[in-house]
Amino acid sequence: MASGSLLWIYLLATKEMTMTDKVFQGTVILPDRIIENGYVLVSNGLIQSVGSGSAPEGEKHGGPGFLVFPGAIDAQVHSRSQLGQEDFIWSTRSAAAGGVTTIVDMPYDDNCLIATAERFRTKEREAGAQARVDFALYATIDPDEGPARIDELVDAGAAAFKFSTFGTHPKRFPRIPPHVLYASFCAVGKRGLIAGIHNENDEMVRAFMADVEAKGITDYTAHGLSRPPISEALATAEVFELGAGAGCPVHIVHSSIGRGYELAAAYRAQGHGATIEACVHYLTLDEDNDVRRLGGKAKINPPLRPRREVEALWHHLAAGNVTIVSTDHVSWSEDRKTDPNMLKNSSGIPGLEALYVLLLKGLDQRGLSLSHAARLLAHNPAALFRITHAKGALEVGRDADIALIRRDPYRYKAATSGNNFVSWSPYDGIELPFRVVETYLRGDCVAADGRVLAEPGQGRFVSPLRAR
């Protein structure tokens, strides 16, 4: 072949490669530092380089005034808690709009506990047809079977296992007693995954609930009184000790009290795997102001606490004692959140669309580095679920999951965007200083200016490397 022809083929190939390259410019936010006048080069859905100064050739995105963040991993989502409601069609739509590029979905689906490999694979297949962003899946156990199916669920691709010390429902969300927890922790620990825990002591909560009902308390205070801080702290201490004995890393999936983070830090200092999660509502809302105002629409388990606990959590976040931040997102129909008797409402709130900007608002108000967001919403969740081979960082070789964000104050209203299954949110009316402008999944734009572009099925299933 003539040298001129070879040159022409080379130039065509170079041109094609350059045309697929994308360059994201702005202030690049990494878990440990911030790069001013930075860039992220993306090709074929993967990050090729991260740097500062003169940007390489490619299709430009962002620019001055933009913050370039890693796409968030929401570690706690309930897409199927109510039949006929949200499903992955809508949960992942909210996620894309909010800069969340991976969700980790919980195993307590309405009418279907994800406790067998067959059910897990069915959920993976169904979610794959619906999801607009990537997803990983928790698995759990049937208390009657104990740990018998843990190995098959790990082999099916489970990212983690969820257990509860409180029985919300005997079939859909059952309590797992301590001896079964211990046996399960032993099995999970051998496979290198984490055990995630809903941490409320069953006996104490039931006693306090009975007391509240006997006294006829039905107003906004009823929920907090029925689940006092000691019921949460006791369960947290119990499962950390079970994990220490079993040699299994234990993760508290939500702690509303500062004491929980103290316990986690103490167990880590002793060499045990002990991590802990702060849902963004515990960093934002409080009992006296928000539960009083919203009633059942602010009912969450564990409950929202007084403002002093909110500030205690921010103290722990600044000190590095918070492992990750999540939403515990669930979109209950409004009729299940508006009963005047506080205890009769369903527990949980939606939040996927607002996760990133709510955390950034809190960091901004307290003068804390925005690097906390890259660490708590991306880097640490990827490590926790063993998916760092693909997710969690603006780092060479990882998926090009990117959120372009800029300072652009607005007042949040869930119904306005059209990206949420329900039109209500406990965050309605909150002024947010930052806005997610564009979200990219593996280099492709899945949301821009509040409009979700991704179609169902664009998301992929993500599982730990060692679980395959």
Question: What integer pLDDT is reported at residue 380 of this predicted model?
Answer: 98
Are 355 and 432 in contact, with CB atoms under 8 Å apart?
no
State the Cα–Cα distance between residues 75 and 149, nearest whole angstrom.
23
Evaluate if residue 14 carries a pLDDT over 50: no
Q: For 229-264, what is the HEC assignment? A: HHHHHHHHHHHHHHHHHHCCCEEECCCCCHHHHHHH
The 10s digit of each residue's pLDDT in 152-209 is 999 999 999 999 999 787 777 899 999 999 999 999 999 999 999 999 999 999 999 9
Question: Could you give the residue ranges of the DSSP H alpha helices within 247-354?
Answer: 258-269, 292-294, 307-319
Question: What integer pLDDT is reported at residue 466 of this predicted model?
Answer: 63
Question: What integer pLDDT is reported at residue 15 of this predicted model?
Answer: 43
Are 356 and 374 in contact, with CB atoms under 8 Å apart?
no
Burial of 90 (0-12, 13-18, 19+ CB in 10 A): buried
**Percentage above 70 pLDDT, the chain:** 95
Looking up tokens 């001129």, which residue turns up?
4
Question: What integer pLDDT is reported at residue 17 of this predicted model?
Answer: 45
- What is the overall mean pLDDT for the chain? 95
Beta bridge partners of 407: 434
Torsion of CA 86, 420, 348, 141, to 10 degrees: 40
Phi and psi (nearest 5°) for 189? -60, -35
Q: Which of 4-13, 95-104, 149-158, 260-269 has the lowest mean pLDDT?
A: 4-13
Looking up tokens 């991704």, which residue turns up?
454
Report the candidate in 468, 431, 466 with the shortest Cα–Cα distance to residue 193. Answer: 466
Report the candidate in 164, 153, 159 with the shortest Cα–Cα distance to residue 193. Answer: 159
The 10s digit of each residue's pLDDT in 202-250 is 999 999 999 999 999 999 999 999 999 999 999 999 999 999 999 999 9
Beta strands (DSSP E) in 78-180 are 100-105, 108-109, 112-113, 134-139, 160-164
Report the candidate in 73, 10, 123 with the shortest Cα–Cα distance to residue 377. Answer: 73
The 10s digit of each residue's pLDDT in 250-266 is 999 999 999 999 999 99
Question: What integer pLDDT is reported at residue 4 of this predicted model?
Answer: 46
The secondary structure element, H or E, covering residue 74 is strand 72-77
Question: What integer pLDDT is reported at residue 172 of this predicted model?
Answer: 78
Question: What integer pLDDT is reported at residue 254 of this predicted model?
Answer: 97
State the Cα–Cα distance between residues 459 and 79, nearest whole angstrom.
14
Give the residue-averaged pLDDT of 353-357.
98
The overall pTM is greater than 0.75: yes
State the Cα–Cα distance between residues 57 and 53, nearest whole angstrom.
13
Question: What integer pLDDT is reported at residue 147 of this predicted model?
Answer: 97
Question: What integer pLDDT is reported at residue 7 of this predicted model?
Answer: 40
State the Cα–Cα distance between residues 140 and 193, nearest whole angstrom.
12
Domains of the chain: 3-68+400-467 (2.30.40.10), 72-384 (3.20.20.140)
The 10s digit of each residue's pLDDT in 374-430 is 999 999 999 999 999 999 999 999 999 999 999 999 999 999 999 999 999 999 999
State the Cα–Cα distance between residues 377 and 371, nearest whole angstrom.
10
Question: What integer pLDDT is reported at residue 104 of this predicted model?
Answer: 98
Which DSSP state fits 468?
-
Are 143 and 170 in contact, with CB atoms under 8 Å apart?
no
Question: What integer pLDDT is reported at residue 402 of this predicted model?
Answer: 98
Evaluate if residue 467 carries a pLDDT over 50: no
Q: In the structure encoding, which two tokens stand for residue 207, read together?
A: 């006693």
Burial of 465 (0-12, 13-18, 19+ CB in 10 A): exposed
Give the residue-averaged pLDDT of 286-294.
97
Are 52 and 39 in contact, with CB atoms under 8 Å apart?
yes
The 10s digit of each residue's pLDDT in 297-331 is 999 999 999 999 999 999 999 999 999 999 999 99
Going by pLDDT thresholds of 50, 70 and 90, the confidence category of residue 5 is very low
Give the residue-averaged pLDDT of 27-31.
98
Report the candidate in 281, 289, 287, 285 with the shortest Cα–Cα distance to residue 348. Answer: 281
Going by pLDDT thresholds of 50, 70 and 90, the confidence category of residue 1 is very low
Which amino acid appears at position 103 of this protein?
I
**Percentage above 90 pLDDT, the chain:** 93
Report the candidate in 169, 109, 166 with the shortest Cα–Cα distance to residue 140. Answer: 109
